[in-house]
Structures are given as C-alpha cells and as structure tokens.
Amino acid sequence: MNHAQFWGGGGAAPYEIEQSLRFNSADSAYLSRTPASAGNRKTWTWSGWVKYTVKNNTSTFNQPLFWANNSASSGISFSQDPDTAHRIFVYNAGFNIQTTQFFRDPSSWYHIVAVIDTTQATASNRTKLYINGVQVTDLATASYPTQNTDTDINNTVEHNIGKQIGQSRYLDAYLSEVNFIDGSALDPDQFAELDDNGVWRPIKYAGSYTGNSFYLKFASGDGTDSSGLSNTWTANNFTTSGTGTDVMSDTPTKNWCTLNPLIVNNSTYLDPAVLSDGNLVASQTSVPNNTFCAGTFKLPSSGKWYWEVKQDALQTDVTMGIGRVPWDPTSDTSARDAMYGYKANGDKFKLGTASSYGSSWANGDIVGVAVDMDNTTISFYKNGTSQGNAFTDIDTAYDYVPMTWANDPNRNVWVYNFGQRAFAYTPPTGYKALNTSNLSSPDIADGSEYSDTVLDTGANILSSAQSTFSNGLWWVKDRANSNQHQLVDSVRGGNLRLTTPSETTEAAYSAPSGNSVAWCWNLAADRSNGFDIVTYSGNSGVQNVSHNLSEAPEFMIVCNRNRGSAAHRVYHADQGPTKVGELNTSSGFYADTTWNNTAPTNSVFTLGNTSMNQAYNYVAYLWHSVPGYSSFGSYTGNGNADGPFVYCGFRPRWIMFKATGAGYWGIYDAARNTYNAATLALYPNDSLAESTDQPFDFLSNGFKIRGATSFVNTNGGTYIFAAFAEHPTGGSGVSPATAR
C-alpha cells in the first residue's frame, strides 16, 4: 500500500488515538460535572467514539451516553428495551428522535454525533443524529423541539457521562475522543473523515472551545478536560492502574480483540458465558450446562500471537486455548472437541482427547496462551513459566479463535487480557498482541475496488455497472418487478446475458423496467482478488479446464451458453467435489459427477461426463477466498432468532447463502440494506421482486443471523455462503472497519 496516499497528499501520519475509558455498569462507573453557569441550551454538538459492549443477556433498561439530570432529564442513550433493543435516541422533555436501525456490533467502534440547534426554522433540522458520518433519517420516533426551546443539556444541573441519575442506569461501553461544543451545531466532518479506502476514521477537532465545551481524551483515565477550558469531570468508580485498570489502549484507530457476546449455542446443552467489563470478563452463571467464550478476532493464518487469561473463580474441568470455527451450535461438545487447550488439571487437550502435559493451575493463576501459526505450535504459560509446546501440529486448514470452555456444574469466572492493558508477564520473544495494527497489511484494503453493488434505474443499471468495472461480471436484477436475473460478462462480450432462474440460451441483454441492482466483480489482470472468468467447450468425456487463479477455487458457478434446459451448476468447497448445487433451483446439493469427484487445483478444475461437459459452450465464474476481502464457508443453524454468528475477517458488503438441503438461495447487500437489521433479499432461484425476508446483521468482523426460519436458520441445518467485503476488519496501515 502507498502509505503516503493513505496518509494524505503531504504524507503526514494519520491521527492516532492512544486511550479509551471502559465503563462497566456493574461498577456504577460514570463521569459527573455540574456547570457553574449555563451555556447555550439551544445549540450544541456532542461527538464521541463508542465501542458498545452489547450484552448477550439482553437488559431492559437504557444505556446512557451523555445525560443532564433535571426534573425531566435530557440526553443521548442506547435503548435496550425489548421492543427497541440497541437503538439510539436523543431525548429531551418535549421531543425525542429514535433510530429504526439497531446498533449491536460489539467488535469495533461507532462514531456518534448528536447535534441540537433549536433556532432552526425547519423542525427536522433542530435535532440531528449521525452515525459514522451519515445522518440518520430513517427514524422509528421523530418528534422535534419547538423553535428556540432550551434543552436541559448545558443548564446548571448535574451532567453525567455513562449514567442517568433518576433511574440509576449505567453504561457498558468504551468511550474515546469525546468532544462537546457549546454554542455550535457542527457536522461530523469536524471530528472525522473518510480515508482513501472509504473508512470513517477520527481526525483532531481543530475548531474553538468556548463556554461549557470540553474535550476528553482519557489520557490519565479520568475526566480531565483537554480543551484548555478546565471543564474537568469527576471520575466515579473507575480503576486507573494495575491489572484491573479501566484505561485501555483499545481505540478507534487501534481496535483490540475482546470476547464476543454474539456467539450463541443451543442452551439445552451449552451456554455462552455472560460477559462484562468491556467484554473481557466471562462468567458461568447457568448450571449444569457447559459454558464457553470466544474472541472477536480470528487468529491470522500466519504470525505469533499471545494473550493471557486469569482464572478468577476456579472449578475443575476448564480448558483454555483456541477453538476451530465454525462449530455446530446444536451440539454440546462440538466447540470443546474442536479445541487445542490446557486444562486446569495440567492435561493438554486436542480435538476431544486429553493427555498429560504440565502443571495444574488454580484460582488466581494466569494462563498465557502462545500460538505460532507459522510453525503450527501452541504452548502455554502458568504465571509466566512455560509449560513447553503442547502441540506442534495445529491443522491450518481451519480457522481459530481464542476460546475457554468449562464442563462443570459450578460457577467459573475468566478475566481476559489481549494486551489492551499491560500483560501480567512478558510475552515470549516475537509474539504479538491481537489488535488491528498488528495484523498483516490486507492485500485488498478497499473492497469496492474489486467488487461492488450498484443501484440505478433499469434503463441505466448495466451502463452504471460497466462504468464501475470495465472488465468483469455484472449480475443485474430488477428490484421492483418479477423479472429474470441477468448475468453479463466481459469475456463473452457483446452484452450477452445468461438468465436465472430460467434456463435460456445466451441472448442479448434486456434492460429491466424498474429500479434495479447490479452486483459487480472486477476481472483484475493479475487475478489478485481471487476471481476469474473462464470459457470452454465440452468434450462429452472428462476434461481439466485451465484457470488463471493462484489458488484452487472455492466457489464456482458454471453455465451452459447454448442449451436452454441446463441448470446452472454450483461448486462450493464446503460441499466438496462429489456434490453439486443448482443456482436456478431450490434443490439441495446432491451427489453427482459434475466435478468428476475431483477437487479443483490452483491451475485447473475438472469436469466429468455430465451436462456441464457436453458438446456445447460454457462459461465458469470462479472465486477463491482472499483474507480480509472474501470468504466462502458454512454455518449450522440453531433454529433461534438469536442465530449463529459467522466470522469473515471483514465488514461484509454482499452475502449469498443457501441451505445445503432444499431451500431458496438468498442475496443480501449493504447498498440496499444500509443499516441493521438487513432484511431486503433477492433470490437467484426465483424471479421475485425484492422482498422483506429474514434479518441479518452485517458486522465489522462478519455477520449474524437474526431470523429463525428454514430459509436461513433451521435447527441443525447446514448453510453455505459466499461473502465479499466492504472493508477488512483491520491490518497494518489501514483504518479499522467501523461497527455497523
């Protein structure tokens, strides 16, 4: 990557934030200040970066960010009421705006800007809310102040950050780079900007501070005002030193691994731990079920990585280490049996089998986990003393996350430290902590350079798509009408289309009549984005078809160009070369010799004597995964609206999925679904217009299923998916993806 370009034309380094402050509701932690004199109560701006530690035991109370405590109260808050869970609202007696979208991504940072200017003539301009630089206009509640209303904010009453006095409600989040500007209604670009990769990232506020304005950067873990006005806040119930410090280096410019509250299992067998303290403490509270917790980062496929876990309440059958993902959320043992770990009794544990290893550990001991993905080894430390290599053969065909498991009918508590505060013991030489700056620089920093979603009228949609990428695949669908999907590509040329779900021969493209979408993939000359288009002629036998990818394709769509009754065949690596799917039908993957029972390689894919290799011409679209940009995998449903979480290592822009049994294909994208929950779907096996279907959450590190039907999440059902990135989760030299 050209860092001079990334850092701006002058080559100056981007603005870096060093600290954040962790707010934990169980500690009743908050900041307080009562202004000596009233400021401008009609016009003000609040800006803050927030890593919201969404709870997996959903609370039924508000989570206050900034609050003035008068008789009626006024402020900015997350709502966790069951019917409005994880929305944001801006409130004052007499007016209230509340978002339609949900903010429940716990793995990265939101930039929240609330602007009040009751002097405006237009009512909707008097209260504005921006998330990651975009104004929220789709509101579940929208009542605006009368002109020239005085808010409670900026009055001579107690103000809190992280607390609402009247209800004794407290915040669970990290806060960083908090600015309050008295007397000015400012746009979010005063506090942040889009970088060259299209990621919203902080900049230093360069405007003036007057009156009751303040700037909190939490450098000392307290409420010191760095604006120069000495409008300092009193810190209540924070710890600012030692291993339990609430002062963290987890910031919007260097995001850190924490524990993931979005991972769930079937509670009949297995409970996710209840998380607290910035999602760094995990507690087993339900017995006698097994309990586990797992991190928000997948381990990179290379490098050496270290973290620590303190056992804060000891029971006997506890295992710490790494676990494969995904696992079957309907099984009570699949997560444990996919672990490489170190047990409390001193045994090592590999994929369901324990054997003798090192010293036992007890309550208060700290286990260090050292994973060397370059040499496929994992070793453990007890209170800084190495127990030696536990395993030297980590299977790199799988992805892994930090994990702890308890198979015990008693309560366990684990305190994690991924390095966002000082480690208790010096990590082994060459090992790094799990934060976005330590991840490798992504090969693709801006997903839109290689795949994108375009929205336009039916008359213009293809030309808009082709102006996005001059070479590649353009997949067009009329959103408003029940018309065919049309696949056009630059290799066949001439704007010739193939259609789905109908099985027609190659023909001229026909412009849709309604507003449409085009999903576009760039056919890069070096194929560095893991995408290729290949044409071939069938030979009615067995043949190897050459491709230009550097790795074996993991996902392929193959279409007959000349025969109108041939289904479009799909290969997915998780189903293997002995099964085939059909893009234009709802049939499940079935046993077939389309691929001649032979897995593709980094130079060819193999065809048997089937309908995909007869005396016709064919086109094949091929993809392999690129870390931080594309992922092709599977997940197992749990039949619950609180559905599976799927790691991708990026913030998705496009997802297609299909039950491996009978069921519809579905496509969701972030251009049509601009906020969570994403509900607008289109179906490759059906010509239906766009419809509202089962909800997904697109997240900074993957996606989560929020529906419980067989379409997306039947209990025990297997679903394959293909996903492409908006932005990588992070990496050296790039801004961390914002939470969505």
Percent of the chain surpassing pLDDT 70: 93
Nearest to 627 by CA among 343, 299, 321: 299
pLDDT for 5? 33
Of 515, 517, 524, 533, nearest to 447 by C-alpha is: 524
What pLDDT is recorded for position 221? Answer: 82
How far is the CA of 501 from the CAs of 347, 556, 621, 691, in angstroms?
A: 55, 17, 17, 17
Of 546, 528, 529, nearest to 537 by C-alpha is 546
* Type of residue found at 233: W
Handedness of CA 219, 220, 223, 227 (dihedral sign): negative
Position 167 scores a pLDDT of: 74
Give the pLDDT confidence score for residue 220 in this predicted structure. Answer: 83
Nearest to 244 by CA among 407, 507, 24: 24
d(CA 649, CA 700): 8
* pLDDT computed for residue 574 by the predictor: 97
Confidence check: pLDDT of 519 > 60: yes
Question: What is the pLDDT averaged over residues 201-221?
Answer: 96
578 confidence band (pLDDT: 50, 70, 90): very high
Cβ proximity of 114 and 154 under 8 Å:
no
pLDDT at 11 (0 to 100): 46
700 has pLDDT over 80: yes
DSSP characters over 448-501: GGTEEEEEE-TTTHHHHHHHH-SSEEEEEEESSS---EEEEETTT-TTEEEEES
Please name every residue paired with 98 in a beta bridge, in sequence order, or none if there are none.
Answer: 89, 141
The full 3-state SS of 6-53, as one line of letters, equals: HCCCCCCCCCCCCCEEEECHHHCCEEEECCCCCCCCCEEEEEEEEEEC
Please report the domains of the chain, with CATH numbers, ordered by start residue: 18-248 (2.60.120.200), 270-436 (2.60.120.920), 630-728 (no CATH)
* Distance (Å, whole) CA 164 – CA 170: 7
Is pLDDT above 70 for 492? yes
| Measured distance CA(551)–CA(554) in Å, rounded | 9
CB 485 within 8 A of CB 475: yes
Question: Which residues, other chains included, contact 201 with Cβ-Cβ below 8 Å and sequence gap of 6+?
Answer: 14, 15, 192, 193, 194, 195, 252, 253, 735
Contact in structure between 550 and 602 (CB atoms under 8 Å): yes
Tell which wins on pLDDT, 60 or 737.
737
Cβ contact 725:630 at 8 Å = yes
The half-sphere exposure of 564 on its side-chain side, counting CA atoms within 13 A, is 5
Angle at Cα 642 formed by Cα 641 and Cα 645, nearest 5°? 125
CA distance 358 to 380: 9
In the sheet with 630-636, reading across from the earlier edge strand, the strands are: 630-636, 718-728, 650-659, 665-669
User: Above 70 in pLDDT, residue 410?
Assistant: no
pLDDT of residue 288: 53
Running DSSP on this structure, what letter comes out for residue 256?
A: B
pLDDT at 80: 63
On whether the CB atoms of residues 459 and 448 are closer than 8 A, the answer is: no
Q: What is the pLDDT of residues 319-378, one digit of tens each?
A: 999 999 887 766 656 777 889 999 999 999 999 899 999 999 999 999 999 999 999 999
